[in-house]
Structure 1
Amino acid sequence: MLTTSQSTTKTKKASVNATQPRTEDALENAIRSLDLTAKIRLLSGARMFSLHADAAIGLEEIVMSDGPTGVRGEEVVGGRESCLLPNATLLAQTWDPGILAEVGGILAEEAMDQKTHIVLGPTINLHRSPLGGRLFECFSEDPYLTGILAAAYVKSLQRRGIGASPKHFLANESETQRTTVDCIVDERALRELYLLPFEIVDRDARPWTVMASYNSVNGTTATEHDELINRILKGEWGFDGLVMSDWFATKQAAESANAGLDLVMPGPQTVWSDSLEKAVRAGAVSEEAIDDHVRRLLRLAARVGAFAGSRNWPTAVPRPDGDLRREQLRRIAAEGMTVLKNDGGILPLAPGAGTVAVIGRHATDTVAQGGGSARVRPPHVVSIADGITSALGRDSVTVVDGVETRTRLMATSPSLVRDPETGTAGMRVRAFDEHGHVIESRHFDVAELEVAEDGWLAAAARIELSADVALPAPARMRVGVIGPGDWSLSASGHQESFTVTPHQGPGGGLHRPKSHASVVALEPGTRITATTGPHFEMRIIGLVLTAAPRAAAAAIREAVEAAAHADTAIVVLGNTQEQETEGQDKKTLALPGEQDALVAAVAAVAPRTVVVVNAATPVLMPWLDDVDAVLFAGLPGQEAGEAVAAALTGDIEPAGRLVTTFPAHDGDGPAWSTTPTEGRLVYTEGTRIGYRGWHASGTEPMFWFGHGLGYTTWDYASAAVTGEDGPAVAEVTVALTNTGSRQGKETVQAYIIPEDPDEPARLIGWGQISLGPGENGNVRITCDPRTQRIWDPAGQAWQPLNGGTLAVARGLGDIRIKLQLDGVQEA
């Protein structure tokens, strides 16, 4: 394993703590040299993802990139290739801070290779409701697990001089009406749940920036929330970094500047650039407040190497498709995968175990990442079908397409189209003026592009996308476009005009572009031409070319035939970017299309049925009792198929543990709806989200938080509290034995179940151990006092959690040992 100490790129170490006094003096001198206009200019972005330089004070441009699971760069689509890591929930399912530190190292090197100073992540909002569309980008329903893993990620990034930006501060647990919703959260829940991950990251990792969210919290918009930003984050916790807005989130100048917001993004035209100087001169904002904002900006610049001296960027960084990265990403993804069911121990698949039918659209159209601003352009995505075929041998594997899973089509793979002028993979894009003259013509090696108001297409009256079809034989295909606009399309004698409207909600034209396509009979070499008019709101446009849709009944018949003649059927199913996306929540946990019917039909005839779930968050499994094994594979990143194959064959143990509780039915659980009522979303469950609420209700979910079988069995011999920190449990030691026949990794979890029935159970720590068959060992679990306290709103102070039961478990559904705790003394 590549550890964090084995960095593949040597770079000058950057301090994670406050800058040195000499640097602070330089900051103060720079501030004194700037007039008010110059100061305020620095406090808005220069462009979409960069900040202003000022040569007079030695300030260089600072570049940011979206990137919780990959450093995308400044272009939303069509930019450079970057590593695509497993999604955040899959990373979190390792429960391993060392893995998150390794991820931070990969992202830092990717950022350095792109000369990017700040990676906008991690996302550390909680899985309040399983319907949340952006949960794939967040770690867990548990605030402590989230905070510890995020701290490891942040420390690793910043150790290499790349800034992190934990987000979204605060209570952005859903996407419906996210720019306007007022989240109503009681003070205890805010402190014990939603603030806790940020508190842990701030105190343990000292992030250099934090991003404020779009929504309001208890009546005040997050970018203007004096209590959250000034009093708690900067005051109580001593945060000395910079607070930036989410993109286009800032609404009012004086209110946000006084509340502690330091930077408005993006720029250059913002509410601050328009009116903040007037507010200062009118006395509504003090110049001392402006100076503090500038001070924090310059401190950030010093930390990332953009102030008082140019940064030296490395010249050699591992390539996204190189052997090192591929090994890392395959291993990390496979280790986070979770075995939910394994009747008869049919997994791992034994060598020479017979013939295998790999069934399902997700086997060939594997979803490697979610939708939205986190999306990156990977060098490749290994499909699950290709990974399994490579591992088991082409002679043993039959691949069968499944039912349709997408209603919104994606841009075509560039391998299916050729630029008409160059013959190379991709498409030709031409911009025309109002007289029909070509302004500019460019080749794109992808089949989509971003149209921006300040981009090279801004002067065009008409945009044309064209490509020649690179099919090996004649075929009926869906041909069309993605992206809003008034379109004309021609291909093989087919001509039509139509309008694609923007997707409703924030970023609809960028993050969730709608599509339109028609079925056309195509010959190899057929030219596709699509033109759109002068609608230059920010949007993604591109060409669609994909197989014509199939009737579900026909797809299921073909799958049943293959399954009946195979020794094992592996059904691959899951969600798409329509369900796992920024800007839109789910309406149901049911799988899209007729995937449930497909599984049921296959399980009825197959000798053995294994289901691989290619989704980041809970899905309903009405067929669970009918199948033999279920592997929850997440959104595995660019090495998806290789990682799934490694997990299924046991080449790498899928030792993951769930980070979210899985309900068996829509509507189950303590928090469900993400739809505001009259603009307000009330967190009525208080502190009882996720497993806390399930446990308090006495009802059983389909799978508990912390559940995961791995590939061996474990005996928990004893447990004892071996350390105390005043009133809190500080350490628990657990003796256990690997009683199975394989090497395995165990995640031993410690929970407190309070005496007071009104207090929910909570995770207080965990430890991990790897043992061979028959080996035994001790796991020392460090327990955090920040999980063993209760916020007293009346006294505005923390109080200790008194007494209860210490549960040592493999998840709350599999408690192995219980210890009674004595009541603790007053703090």
Structure 2
Amino acid sequence: MTLDPPPGPAGLVGALDLPAKVSLLTGAGMFTLAAEESIGLAALRLSDGPTGVRGLRFSGGRTAALLPNATLLASSWSEEVAAEAGGLLAEEARARSVHVVLGPTVNLHRSVLGGRLFEAYSEDPYLTGRLAAAYVRGLQEQGVGACLKHLVANESETDRHTVDSVVDEATLREVYLLPFEIAVADADPWTVMAAYNRVNGVACTEHDALLNGVVKGEWGWAGLVVSDWWATRTTAPSANGGLDLVMPGPVGPWGDALVAAVTAGEVAEDVVDDHLRRLLRLARRVGALGPPREGSREDPPAPDSAVRRGQLTRLAAQGMTVLRNERGTLPLSRGATVALVGRHAAETVDMGGGSAQVTPPYQVSVAEGLTALLGPAVTVVDGVEVRSRPVPARFGSVLHPGTGGPGVQATLLRADGAVVEERHAAAASTVVGVDDDLPEPAELVRLRARVPQGGRLQLGALGVGRWELRVAGREVARFELRLTGSDVGEAVLRPPARTVDADVADGDLVAATVDLRGAPGPGRDGRTTGAGLFGLVARPATRDPAEVLREAAGAARAADVAVVVVGLTEEQETESADKTTIALPGGQDDLVRAVAAAARRTVVVVNAATPVLMPWRDEVDAVLWAGLPGQEGGHAVAAALLGDIEPAGRLVTTFPAADGAAPAWSVTPVEGRLVYGEGPFLGHRGHHAGRAPAPAFWFGAGLGYATWDYADARVVPGPDVPGVAVTVTNTGDRPSREVVQVYLHPADPRQPVRLAGWSAVTAGPGESVPVEVATDARMWRRWDADAGGWARLPVSGRLLVARGLGDVRATLALDDGG
């Protein structure tokens, strides 16, 4: 890899004294880096971004386009899709003067219990690395930096700040470092994020062997290593261990402490200089050092523009995956009457929880999307309760009392009632004391909104502090909410909540006021009181489940087809918490069975980013896995159900048949250690080797809307390793996209099967297409721990040509002459 020359005029680093150098190596704020006028360095701006460019505030910033989640994008098995997503985010970043987008997430789906898997592409390191490289190229071609995260073995959330991931060296190299290696080699991301956890006893933010030895040394990477937020624990060990930038700031473990460590000889000044050179290289690449980068020649499409609506609908729908389709139930006929059932139909979950959240201009439900295409042929019926924790009022369900627009009026106050700041919180929640710049601390927060449609409602609030809740001026509740654990990040990512049921008239004003004094939260110094996320809860009260099931069955019986939308919520798919089961929450399984027993035909749409159990799958006619589809989610699901856009996705995660029926399951550390005992046999690799029962659905599975024949498969020589040639024929009655997958099954039983290449083709009905699939030499090697290097696998064993690992269409023998 060729390193860039030093950014700007020679001697930039030498022009600064030690305190000035060090001051640039900790953030200036939550998402900003300090400027240094003396060398022409402007302030850099970073933003969370796997599914949208939120900007410099955790909440309350500008609206941003909300993309489909990473697993849904990855289900297209398309580098073009990944690059398009990166390019879209780059356009949004440039419009917001953001220099670095914190993504993509390239951790793997090791255990399906991982709460944050929705941000990551897949369980497979090769698929993940290829897609990540394309995403990086899409971002950086427009001068916006990408940030690979989270290095490394950061596949679960339980005790994430302290957990020690115990991984043998071969598995670490062959599996968990591989997507980082591929993305670095193929796309040269400008930053990489060091994770919270430890690896084999050493914190990732000070892991010299990984950061200096592998990433900067063996890979020859010239970029910047940034810490995850508040992840850095030490001064000299992290500075010497390869970390370049501590976030957030301005307070942190470096600063004066790092200056003192250099003065004491614990850290060489050359080490600080290298960190700064890398920072300045990044600044030059993104246009914050030297001549400013050119602005966009024209403004990008607005998040709610027709261009974005069409683009985001297509990106979501084409990644959706047909898992079952009996009797040609899908696509739906436009002449059919439809009973649309389920809480997820009306309250479709379009994004996961935590730092991946953005404020979109709107979110389209499946009910809205299907009704827009079929009109009165659709009857919408509510489903069973799907949540155990309250969430802020859904967009549009409450209105600002002054403007009448969606959201709440959030007023930040002093204890004497003087106003500190007024906000319009479209998401019905706001973050205080974390990333805002208030003239003085807020001691009270008042949330006010009108409820356009009254009735028996569940009202309440979330956020740490002492609350008072009023409706139309009358007090309905007082309560105090406290953190449930020692992690102050809970105040933002999973704040406590409480609700009461109350009768509310149309247009009533609901007001919730919280006293922040004495409430802990994650302020800028990690100790500030009164900081966190605060929100207003307002939604229909929970109904009797038996009544809901009777109503759903009645609607299904009266329609030509029933569509039941089930899924997970941000309680399960979120940063900061893992799942304990992959069963659907609430009584959703009962709802599906009640509908299936009554309906002529039943389609189930699964609104979840990660695997769920489907004990009813043989009782329904069709299953469409829809992921977390972003702001156009309802339009995308409707387009997929009707076949306007083919849902040609392929699974990126193996769906276990039962809880625990997977090669890796537990995400709970034992005495602080989480042992990756399955080694390289995670996911489909372990199932294929017989280390776990046969799954419900295999990695790579997906039916699309056509059937396919494979013929004339053969091994073909490649420049380094062999590939495969095969002819595929669309035997269906619609144009369709096929993903031809090639897996290497080594002869050595200690080596797992692995995806080695894939290629996608589109063909019309009856059309035959020749396909060649190259395999990647990086998948034909193993790590020799004794020799400390890579060893080539022999050309032996078999190549499997498949429509998913559970549908192998050809098995090709290999030998050393192949």
With normalisation by structure 1, the TM-score equals 0.95
Where do 5+ consecutive residues of structure 1 fail to align? Answer: 1-15
Q: For each residue in 1:681-720, what CA deviation from the matched residue of structure 2 results, as whole angstroms up to 9, or x when unmatched? A: 0000001000000000174110000000111111101122
Distance 1:521 1:688, change over 3 A: same
Task: Choose which of 475, 480, 486 in structure 2 pairs with 1:499.
Answer: 480
Alignment of 1:628-643 (within 5 A): 628-643=621-636
* Number of the residue aligned with 1:321: 304
* Number of the residue aligned with 1:510: 492
Task: Choose which of 449, 456, 462 in structure 2 pairs with 1:476.
Answer: 456
* Number of the residue aligned with 2:799: 806
Aligned residue identity for 2:431: E
| Alignment check: 8 A CA contact 1:17 1:206 kept | no
Matched, 1:553 2:546: yes
Distance 1:569 1:722, change over 3 A: same
**Partner Cα separation in structure 2 for residue 356 and residue 17 of structure 1:** 59
* Number of the residue aligned with 1:6: none
Displacement of 1:433 after TM fit?
2.8
Structure 1, 533-542 or 130-139: larger mean CA deviation = 533-542
Matched, 1:737 2:729: yes
Task: Choose which of 580, 599, 604 in structure 2 pairs with 1:606.
Answer: 599
| Alignment check: 8 A CA contact 1:451 1:457 kept | no
Matched, 1:345 2:347: no
Aligned residue identity for 1:344: R
Aligned residue identity for 1:398: T
**Partner Cα separation in structure 2 for residue 798 and residue 459 of structure 1:** 56
| Alignment check: 8 A CA contact 1:170 1:194 kept | yes
* Number of the residue aligned with 2:347: 365
Distance 1:217 1:433, change over 3 A: same
Task: Choose which of 6, 27, 48 in structure 2 pairs with 1:66.
Answer: 48
**Partner Cα separation in structure 2 for residue 736 and residue 496 of structure 1:** 65
Matched, 1:485 2:465: yes
Structure 1, 166-175 or 445-454: larger mean CA deviation = 445-454
Displacement of 1:441 after TM fit?
4.2
Aligned residue identity for 2:327: G
**Partner Cα separation in structure 2 for residue 228 and residue 299 of structure 1:** 21
Aligned residue identity for 2:782: I
* Number of the residue aligned with 1:35: 17
Distance 1:556 1:255, change over 3 A: same
Q: For each residue in 1:613-644, what CA deviation from the matched residue of structure 2 results, as whole angstroms up to 9, or x when unmatched? A: 00000000010110010000000001101111
Structure 1, 404-413 or 700-709: larger mean CA deviation = 404-413
Aligned residue identity for 2:780: Q
Percent identity over the alignment?
54
* Number of the residue aligned with 1:5: none
Q: For each residue in 1:628-677, what CA deviation from the matched residue of structure 2 results, as whole angstroms up to 9, or x when unmatched? A: 10000000001101111111111111110000100010000110000000
**Partner Cα separation in structure 2 for residue 263 and residue 641 of structure 1:** 41
Equivalent pairs counted in the alignment come to 801
Distance 1:626 1:245, change over 3 A: same
Matched, 1:335 2:318: yes
Alignment of 1:297-696 (within 5 A): 297-314=279-296, 315-352=298-335, 354-394=336-376, 396-413=377-394, 415-452=396-433, 455-456=437-438, 458-471=440-453, 474-492=454-472, 493-502=474-483, 504=485, 505=487, 507-533=489-515, 534=517, 535=519, 536-696=529-689
* Number of the residue aligned with 1:754: 746
* Number of the residue aligned with 1:177: 159
Aligned residue identity for 1:258: N
Structure 1, 682-691 or 456-465: larger mean CA deviation = 456-465
Aligned residue identity for 2:272: I
**Tell me, what secondary structure is at the counterpart of 2:717?**
strand
**Partner Cα separation in structure 2 for residue 749 and residue 442 of structure 1:** 51
**Partner Cα separation in structure 1 for residue 27 and residue 148 of structure 2:** 18
Distance 1:436 1:389, change over 3 A: closer
Matched, 1:817 2:798: no
| Alignment check: 8 A CA contact 1:503 1:509 kept | no
Aligned residue identity for 2:100: I
Displacement of 1:307 after TM fit?
0.2
User: RMSD value over aligned CA atoms?
Assistant: 1.6
Q: For each residue in 1:165-217, what CA deviation from the matched residue of structure 2 results, as whole angstroms up to 9, or x when unmatched? A: 01000000100000000000001100100000000000000010000000000
**Partner Cα separation in structure 2 for residue 268 and residue 565 of structure 1:** 63
* Number of the residue aligned with 2:100: 118
| Alignment check: 8 A CA contact 1:494 1:520 kept | no
**Partner Cα separation in structure 1 for residue 402 and residue 734 of structure 2:** 57
**Partner Cα separation in structure 1 for residue 470 and residue 94 of structure 2:** 43
**Tell me, what secondary structure is at the counterpart of 2:8?**
helix
* Number of the residue aligned with 2:201: 219
Matched, 1:783 2:799: no
**Partner Cα separation in structure 1 for residue 177 and residue 409 of structure 2:** 49
**Tell me, what secondary structure is at the counterpart of 1:659?**
coil
Distance 1:323 1:298, change over 3 A: same
**Tell me, what secondary structure is at the counterpart of 1:238?**
coil
Distance 1:355 1:431, change over 3 A: closer
Alignment of 1:41-52 (within 5 A): 41-52=23-34
Displacement of 1:290 after TM fit?
0.4
**Tell me, what secondary structure is at the counterpart of 1:496?**
strand
Task: Choose which of 704, 719, 722 in structure 1 pairs with 2:713.
Answer: 719
Distance 1:503 1:372, change over 3 A: farther
Regions of 4+ moved over 6 Å: none
Distance 1:274 1:143, change over 3 A: same
Distance 1:176 1:439, change over 3 A: closer
Distance 1:724 1:263, change over 3 A: same
Displacement of 1:84 after TM fit?
0.5
Q: For each residue in 1:339-376, what CA deviation from the matched residue of structure 2 results, as whole angstroms up to 9, or x when unmatched? A: 00111121111231x21100000000000000000101
**Partner Cα separation in structure 2 for residue 755 and residue 44 of structure 1:** 50
**Partner Cα separation in structure 2 for residue 755 and residue 414 of structure 1:** 55
Matched, 1:710 2:704: yes
**Partner Cα separation in structure 1 for residue 586 and residue 142 of structure 2:** 45
* Number of the residue aligned with 1:100: 82
* Number of the residue aligned with 1:10: none
Displacement of 1:611 after TM fit?
0.3
Q: For each residue in 1:588-625, what CA deviation from the matched residue of structure 2 results, as whole angstroms up to 9, or x when unmatched? A: 00000000000011111111000000000000001011
Alignment of 1:49-198 (within 5 A): 49-198=31-180
**Tell me, what secondary structure is at the counterpart of 2:498?**
strand
**Partner Cα separation in structure 1 for residue 514 and residue 338 of structure 2:** 46
Task: Choose which of 756, 759, 770 in structure 2 pairs with 1:767.
Answer: 759
**Partner Cα separation in structure 1 for residue 350 and residue 534 of structure 2:** 21
**Partner Cα separation in structure 1 for residue 717 and residue 167 of structure 2:** 34
Displacement of 1:76 after TM fit?
1.3
**Tell me, what secondary structure is at the counterpart of 1:165?**
strand
Displacement of 1:133 after TM fit?
0.3
| Alignment check: 8 A CA contact 1:503 1:512 kept | no
Distance 1:419 1:382, change over 3 A: closer
**Partner Cα separation in structure 2 for residue 812 and residue 506 of structure 1:** 43
* Number of the residue aligned with 2:525: none
